[in-house]
């Protein structure tokens, strides 16, 4: 007998208390070991439309809903008695008549928000009832080809712009994605059609929601890590990106929540499986994000230890340092503060210099060091991409007199910058007969630095499949733009953009998208088209507010958080983000006012062990929460006033504003279901982009 688990079961399990979850897991183990175990008290659900729905008693009030046939047992749902029975009475398990995929289908007549079909005595009047919908012109056979259940055809064809999101929320995932793509003018991919007699659970669409549990270990992993386990599932439309052979470096992009990290994970695993003697590096820009990748990888290949031995997960700076010490010897890293002090000393002995210490540091950090400029001739000719301040040759000569002294001081102290470390590594491996990794898969690739990319190019830019990147230009918050092609990483013809958002509600995604242009291009002209992205679920509209004072903001945010807690959102599912460390006390005050246990997390600890998380927007990267507050978005806070004041040329303002917008976009898109963004009057102009009526509404309230 096949024993399966549905994603609807793990979703419902996660909503129970910890004690209830333990009881359910025990019952699930008993069921797998002995489906006829007398303690389970199987009870056939007479009122269910599907004759194969049964109930299993867990406790006095808890019930597991299973779909039971002679050859299979499927865990479908778990809840307290009445909600569990009601769930079963409103659904049936069926094989789609056209695609052949197994689907748990909610019956349209049981959804109160979906108007019932109008009764009609003639086919002509029935057709008239659906004639004006945006999908009315699409043939039934085409809609069926997208995986839309037969029972939902008329509801879909009668849908208008207001009702389509509600209808989509009740459809199987592949059908929901199709109607949402149709709604924005895209042409969805038709679902694969199964061969006659094929197993409906083996269809790619069905594999997204049903998993076979072959043994107790499989079930234990699925129940212990329900959210993580399902979060590493691969969408069938992404499989071709994973399995494809690329003749050179490749990149997958997409807005926040579209599954880029999942694609990167599966790509790394695919490369390791297909190349049994290879070593694969899965990397990203920070230790906490590398740890998160490692945890997801453990969920994905936890029962394949030999595969894990050949697949290493590291933060890029950490693996760079390890490889340097293994191949080139000990290293003493130059810290930012030490370099700033060296620059200050060099300025004292350069009386002709008229540039500020801040400008000299930024020029060193963004041009001289990344490009490893070591001679006057090289500095004179270096392209200053992303640095829009115009410098004459005389200006450059003055600056170089300072930078020469900086280089000499670093050499005297035997200090090496990270840029120098990666550059030396790149030179070493470009000449080596063997490299430490056959393949490298990079997540959050938009924030790669010049020397990091140079190092990766040395590992394998000229070998098929050697480099795979996942990232979003709209989330670039750490690095200035530069040409990848100039470093030997040419992505033309090998880039793809993901369009389906799995993490963020339609309402939150639509608001956050207002912060960015509909198309963003890199320095090589590769464009990321952001239009046409669709979210798979609905949620409440984000709340954007401009308050009169910090006290009013504290009270407003605390009340909002209290409402979320009453709705069942757990403290660990809440994130509170601010622009910089300066605003952390405001976030603390909010948590205290809401009686919310909260932890201020830092770059070494991006999880808070059951409490709500407070951190800066930069540290929000890679995180996700059910409810997010982005607060203290005042006019002088974002964009940060000190960054604006440090700009020496008006044209540099573009880059400041772009990265600050990206930063707010990152913070807002960490939210799955609920988002509140606040500032004190005068609020950030970015909040007005999120809600054009913000200023007028505040004046009305005043």
Q: DSSP letter string over 222-280?
A: HHHSHHHHHHTPPPGGGHHHHH---SS-EEEEESTTSSHHHHHHHHHHHHHHH-TT--E
Average model confidence (pLDDT) across the chain:
87
Angle (nearest 5°) at CA 663 between 541 and 629: 40
Mean pLDDT throughout 561-583? Answer: 94
Are 559 and 646 members of one domain? yes
Residue 33 sits in a domain whose CATH number is 3.30.2310.20
Asked if 252 and 307 sit in the same domain, the reply is: yes
- Other C-beta atoms closer than 10 Å to the C-beta of 378 total 13
Judged against a pLDDT cut of 70, whether residue 218 lies above it is answered with no
Give φ, ψ of 59 to 5 degrees.
-135, -170
Per-residue confidence at 236, pLDDT binned at 50, 70, 90? low
Does residue 547 carry a pLDDT above 70?
yes
Q: Is residue 196 part of a domain?
A: no
Please report whether residue 686 resides in a domain.
Answer: yes
Q: Which residue, 363, 384, 415, sits at the end of a domain?
A: 415
Residues 319 and 340 both lie in one domain: no
What total number of domains does the chain contain? Answer: 4
pLDDT tens digit string along 37-96? 666 788 899 999 999 999 999 998 999 999 999 888 999 999 999 999 999 999 999 999
With respect to residue 172, please indicate whether it lies within any of the assigned structural domains: no
- Residue 613 has φ and ψ, to the nearest 5°, of -110, 135
Tell me: do 550 and 665 sit in the same domain.
Answer: yes
Residue 581 CA to residue 145 CA, distance in Å, equals 52
For residues 466 and 557, membership in a common domain is answered with no
User: Do residues 303 and 269 make contact, with C-beta atoms less than 8 angstroms apart?
Assistant: no
Q: Confidence band (pLDDT; 50, 70, 90) for 36?
A: confident
21 within a domain of the structure (yes/no): yes
Query: How is 499-566 classified by DSSP, letter by letter?
Result: -EESSS-HHHHHHHHTTS-SEEE-TT--EEE-TT-EES---PPPEEEEESSHHHHHHHHHHHHHHHHH
pLDDT at residue number 312: 95
Q: What is the pTM of this model?
A: 0.74
Q: What's the gap between Cα 517 and its chain centre?
A: 19
User: CATH number of the domain that 443 lies in?
Assistant: 3.40.50.300
My answer on whether 373 and 474 are in the same domain is: no
**Do residues 364 and 392 both lie within one domain?**
yes
Residue 470 shares a structural domain with residue 606: no
Q: Residue 529 domain-assigned?
A: no
Q: Is 520 exposed, middle or buried (0-12, 13-18, 19+ CB in 10 A)?
A: buried
* Beta carbons within 8 Å of 622's beta carbon, 6+ residues apart: 261, 284, 286, 288, 289, 292, 444, 606
At residue 188, the pLDDT reads 84
Residue 353 resides in a domain: yes
Express each pLDDT in 161-183 by its tens digit: 778 888 988 999 889 888 888 88
563 and 677: one domain? yes
Residues 654 and 693 in one domain: yes
**405 shares its domain with 466:** no
Q: Kindly tell me if the per-residue pLDDT of 125 is higher than 60.
A: no
Select from 367, 387, 415 the last residue of a domain.
415
Q: Print the domain residue range for 282.
A: 236-328+431-500
CA distance 678 to 681: 10
Q: Same domain for 568 and 586?
A: yes
Instruction: Pull the structure tokens for residue 671.
Output: 């939210």
Beta bridge partners of 234: none
- Tens of pLDDT along 447-485? 899 999 999 999 987 899 999 999 988 888 777 778 899
Instruction: Pick the closest to residue 190 from 73, 122, 100, 298 (CA basis).
Output: 100
C-beta of residue 257 within 8 angstroms of C-beta of residue 512: no
Q: Give the mean model confidence (pLDDT) for residues 592-607.
A: 83
Q: How far apart are CA 606 and CA 292, in angstroms?
A: 9
Q: Is residue 22 part of a domain?
A: yes
Q: Is the distance from CB of 76 to CB of 10 less than 8 angstroms? A: no
Helix (H, G, I), strand (E, B) or coil at 67: strand
Q: Which residues contact 302 (CB under 8 A, 6 or more apart)?
A: 221
pLDDT more than 70, % of the chain: 89
Pick from 167, 192, 225: which residue ends a domain?
Answer: 225
Domain presence at residue 144: no
């Amino acid at each position: 007998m096949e024993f399966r688990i549905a994603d609807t079961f793990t979703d419902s399990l996660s909503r129970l208390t910890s004690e209830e979850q333990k009881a359910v897991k025990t019952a699930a183990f008993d069921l797998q070991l002995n489906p006829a175990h007398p303690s389970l008290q199987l009870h056939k659900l007479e009122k269910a439309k599907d004759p194969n729905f049964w109930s299993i008693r867990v406790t006095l009030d808890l019930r597991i809903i299973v779909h039971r046939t002679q050859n299979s047992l499927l865990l479908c749902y778990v809840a307290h008695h009445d909600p569990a029975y009601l769930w079963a009475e409103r659904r049936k398990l069926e094989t789609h008549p056209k695609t052949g995929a197994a689907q748990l289908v909610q019956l349209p007549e049981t959804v109160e928000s979906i108007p019932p079909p109008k009764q009609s005595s003639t086919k002509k009047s029935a057709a008239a009832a659906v004639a004006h919908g945006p999908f009315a012109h699409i043939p039934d056979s085409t809609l069926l080809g997208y995986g839309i259940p037969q029972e939902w055809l008329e509801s879909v064809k009668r849908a208008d712009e207001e009702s389509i999101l509600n209808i989509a929320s009740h459809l199987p995932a592949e059908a929901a994605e199709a109607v949402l793509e149709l709604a924005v003018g895209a042409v969805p991919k038709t679902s694969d059609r199964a061969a006659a007699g094929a197993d409906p659970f083996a269809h790619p669409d069905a594999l997204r929601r049903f998993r076979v549990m072959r043994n107790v270990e499989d079930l234990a992993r699925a129940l212990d890590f329900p959210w993580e386990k399902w979060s590493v599932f691969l969408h069938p439309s992404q499989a071709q990106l994973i399995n494809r052979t690329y003749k050179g470096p490749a990149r997958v992009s997409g807005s926040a929540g579209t599954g880029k990290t999942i694609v990167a994970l599966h790509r790394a695993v695919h490369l390791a499986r297909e190349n049994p003697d290879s070593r694969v590096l899965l990397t990203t820009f920070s230790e906490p994000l590398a740890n998160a990748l490692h945890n997801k990888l453990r969920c994905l290949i936890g029962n394949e230890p030999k595969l894990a031995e050949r697949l290493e997960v590291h933060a890029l700076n950490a693996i760079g340092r390890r490889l340097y010490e293994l191949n080139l010897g000990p290293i003493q890293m130059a810290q930012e503060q030490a370099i700033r002090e060296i620059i200050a000393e060099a300025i004292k002995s350069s009386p002709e210099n008229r540039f500020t210490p801040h400008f000299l540091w930024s020029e060193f950090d963004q041009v001289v060091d990344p490009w490893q400029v070591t001679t006057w001739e090289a500095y004179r000719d270096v392209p200053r991409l992303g640095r829009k301040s115009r410098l004459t040759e005389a200006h450059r000569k003055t600056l170089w007199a300072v930078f020469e002294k900086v280089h000499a001081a670093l050499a005297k102290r035997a200090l090496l910058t990270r840029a120098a470390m990666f550059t030396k590594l790149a030179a070493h491996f470009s000449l080596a007969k063997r490299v430490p990794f056959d393949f490298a898969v990079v997540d959050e690739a938009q924030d790669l630095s010049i020397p990091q990319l140079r190092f990766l190019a040395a590992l394998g830019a000229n070998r098929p499949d050697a480099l795979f990147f996942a990232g979003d230009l709209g989330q670039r918050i750490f690095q200035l733009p530069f040409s990848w092609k100039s470093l030997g990483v040419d992505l033309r013809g090998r880039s793809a953009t993901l369009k389906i958002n799995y993490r963020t509600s339609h309402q939150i995604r639509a608001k956050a998208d207002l912060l960015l242009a509909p198309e963003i291009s890199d320095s090589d002209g590769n464009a990321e088209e952001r239009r046409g992205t669709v979210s798979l679920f609905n949620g409440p509209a984000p709340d954007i507010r401009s308050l009169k004072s910090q006290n009013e903001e504290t009270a407003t945010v605390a009340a909002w958080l209290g409402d979320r807690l009453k709705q069942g959102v757990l403290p660990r599912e809440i994130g509170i983000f601010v622009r910089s460390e300066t605003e952390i006390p405001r976030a603390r005050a909010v948590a205290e006012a809401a009686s919310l246990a909260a932890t201020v997390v830092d770059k070494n600890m991006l999880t808070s062990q059951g409490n709500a998380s407070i951190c800066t927007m930069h540290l929000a990267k890679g995180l996700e929460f059910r409810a997010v507050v982005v607060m203290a978005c005042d006019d002088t806070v974002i964009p940060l006033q000190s960054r604006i004041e440090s700009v020496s040329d008006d044209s540099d303002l573009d880059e400041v504003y772009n990265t600050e917008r990206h930063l707010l976009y990152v913070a807002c898109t960490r939210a799955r279901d609920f988002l509140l963004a606040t500032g004190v009057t005068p609020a950030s102009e970015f909040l007005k982009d999120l809600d054009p009526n913000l200023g007028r509404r505040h004046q009305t309230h005043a």
